[in-house]
Amino acid sequence: MALQLTKEQLKEIKQQLTDTQKESHLVIFKSVSPKSGGEIHMITNYGTFETLQQQRPELKMEIVRDIVPVTDSLAYWAVAQDTASHLQPNDPKAADVALQVEQYTNDVLADNKLPQNK
């Protein structure tokens, strides 16, 4: 089930993202598994990226897009990500929301001319 945002909601979310970027900008990073060699692209703020690097030194993580542009896709990703962060793992909507996060992440990757996650 796709998210439905009005033009006004979309405008407001994009403004919030723009304001947030002034404090801690969003990045897209690539993480490579040392075992399988598989890679995944993720979106997070720079501070969280640094924390992840410290907590998971066995993973090769590299920023591939610094300061992600605020687009409609990024706004939808932010709403899906926020929704996911508030759900309990056993929530019946959890699987659908996880698929939304994955889809909107891929949309942001496409906007930034990066390979999509599989």
For the stretch 7-41, pLDDT in tens is 999 999 999 999 999 988 999 999 998 888 889 99
Contact between 26 and 43 under an 8 Å Cβ cutoff? The reply is yes
Q: What is the pLDDT of residue 1?
A: 57
Confidence of residue 2 (pLDDT cuts 50, 70, 90): confident
* pTM of the shown model: 0.91
Total residues belonging to the chain: 118
For residues 62 and 83, give the distance between their C-alpha atoms in angstroms, rounded to a whole number. 26
Cα–Cα distance list, 91 to 55, 79, 87 (Å)? 28, 17, 6
Query: Which range, 51-60, 89-98, 103-112, is most confident?
Result: 103-112
pLDDT at residue number 89: 80
